Amino acid sequence: MAKISVTRYDRTRSFIIIFLLLSSINIIRGVNSLTSTTATATSLPRGLPYDKIVELSQKRYCTNSPKSNDNEPMKGRVAVITGAAGGIGGEISTLIYRLGGTVIALDRNTNGLEQLRNKILSQVTIPVQQQEVVVRVVDSNSNFNSDSDDSSNSDADYNNINRSNTSNSDDDDNDESRIWTIQTNHEDLSSVASTAELIKSRYNHIDLLINNAGMTYPTDIHQQLTMEDEENDNRKNVLSAHGKDLVFTVNYLSHFLLTEKLLPSLYSSNNDDDNNNKENGRIVHITSTYHWKVDGNELMIPDVSLDNDDGPIAYQSDPKKQSSKHFERSYADTKLAQLWHSRAIGSRLKKRQQISSSNTICSVCACPTWASTYIAGNDGSEGKEFLDKYAYSILNCGPGITSSINAIFRQDDELDDAINDGSSFVANSRIVEYLYPANILSSDLVTNKLKWRDVLTDFASVLLLLLQKFTHEELIIQQTSPESFQDKQKIDQFYEWSLKEVQQWL
């Protein structure tokens, strides 16, 4: 009994020390921020000015023939954006269209895609002859929980796509259609694969792929799964179309598949344009600081064997094969998986690219921190009012999409260690560097012995929500967790397993 008391005392003392350390650092940082001229309680961050975004876009896409008055520097550029019906994806879609780019908007929510189209046409002033919007529907019989009640297009046959309804890139040059919305269920890999095929049948190159779609389980998921319901099997609400974990499939595996299928089109973006410009095709992954919550063990293949059909623990749908904190860690696991994906892409592109390094594809991760979106809950409404009050706004190029904009438009040398197989991502708040000290959160003591990594990360995330607005900066290249880049062998094995898992849809 005495030994137990000592252990409890040591743990309590350790917790107090960590708590005081984190609190003291943030109080000091907050005071400094409040007294600075760049961030005060009455002068909250507003994100990047539109003129600055135009300038960044001009530098990236008009480097050989700059035009100071060119407000459509992305003309002729094609961007594929997932989760585009609202939130960060919707704002980025509107921005790219406004800059003259062609937008291929993917989402499961047909109502949201229609609203995106209306928003673009009402807010962006363009000639009448250019206002043609092409809408394609790619969906399946799926029980994926949608933001909308629209299910009128859920009976499309993936094996019999009417390709006569699509046009090639030459047609787009003629009719100036610059927005193409495709209903895509990311929980259904067949839907994702069919969408990719539609895109490739119409466009001979892709300049940008923005992997943004994401979801979390609601906070009452355990209660929902234990409720007795004779008519409905509530566990179906946490399964993908192929019977695996829903969040893992939507946030990570669907994007892995989409990326693999579109890679040849991204390589094609290296072709010269009319202005003799050459740019890298770029893949942008919207990830999260919440990846600090996990150490990567639940992403490993059991027995480190690629022949194991079960896959990572985080991918499992059978409760007997899941970890005890499966639902609490699912989002964090997928965000770490995205970072691993970007690192693996970067290392492979270096080996596969046959032309000069200046013309390789670039993969980069961006972190919006706390942004006011509809990601939480079954219908996306959980906590939205709270986020509207405390989180970064994403509207009108607000601070919630600053990191995403930088990841899209900044030059490779500006992104530094955040591209390819580096150890950082593009961020927008310095407070993360003080709230997530690597030597504490990733230590063996906190992660394995005390098993406090979950609770400390959750605690730090709350502080981040309250304090991030005081430390917003225009461009931050911020190191991610040690587990996100240190073990190259784990990252490589995870990539090879992912490739094998999606093989039937490639």
Lowest average pLDDT, out of 24-28, 126-130, 261-265, 395-399, goes to 126-130
Confidence band for 131, pLDDT divided at 50, 70 and 90: very low
Amino acid identity, position 50: Y
Confidence band for 156, pLDDT divided at 50, 70 and 90: very low
Q: Please list, residue by residue across 328-350, b when 16 or more beta carbons sit within 10 angstroms of its beta carbon and e when fewer do.
A: bbbbbbbbbbbbbbbbbbbbbbe
CA distance 344 to 361: 13
* Average of per-residue pLDDT across 388-412: 92
Task: Write out the H or E segment, with its range, that includes residue 286.
Answer: strand 282-286
The tokens of 345 are what?
A: 């892409």
Confidence band for 385, pLDDT divided at 50, 70 and 90: confident
Burial of 53 from C-beta contacts in 10 A (0-12 / 13-18 / 19+): buried
Q: How many CB atoms lie within 10 A of CB 450?
A: 17
pLDDT at residue number 415: 94
pLDDT at residue number 259: 97
pLDDT at residue number 46: 81
pLDDT at residue number 378: 46
- For 321-440, strand residue ranges (E) read 362-366, 424-429
CA distance 364 to 357: 16
CA distance 415 to 411: 7
Is the pLDDT at 60 greater than 80? The verdict is yes
How much of the chain, in percent, has pLDDT values that exceed 90? Answer: 49
- Give bridge partners of residue 285 from the DSSP assignment: 211, 365
CA distance 304 to 487: 14
In a 3-state reduction of DSSP, which class is residue 418? helix
Is the pLDDT at 93 greater than 80? The verdict is yes
pLDDT tens-digit map of 316-360: 999 999 999 999 999 999 999 999 999 999 888 777 655 445 457
> Strand 424-429 to strand 472-479: parallel, antiparallel, or no bridges (unpaired)?
antiparallel
Write the CB contacts of 96 (distance below 8 Å, at least 6 apart in sequence): 74, 77, 79, 81, 103, 208, 408
Nearest to 472 by CA among 39, 34, 29, 41: 39
pLDDT at residue number 144: 34
- In DSSP notation, 121-185 reads HHHS---GGG---EEEE---S-----SS---TTTT--GGG--GGG---HHHHHHH---EEEEE--
- 125 vs 496: which has the higher pLDDT: 496
pLDDT at residue number 276: 44
How much of the chain, in percent, has pLDDT values that exceed 70? Answer: 71
In terms of CATH architecture, what is 44-430+471-505? 3-Layer(aba) Sandwich (3.40)
Task: Write out the H or E segment, with its range, that includes residue 339.
Answer: helix 326-352
> What is the value of pTM for the model shown?
0.83
State the average pLDDT for the chain.
79
pLDDT tens-digit map of 301-316: 876 555 556 799 999 9
* Average of per-residue pLDDT across 244-269: 94
Is the pLDDT at 432 greater than 80? The verdict is yes
pLDDT tens-digit map of 258-292: 999 999 899 876 555 554 455 678 999 999 999 99
* Average of per-residue pLDDT across 391-419: 93
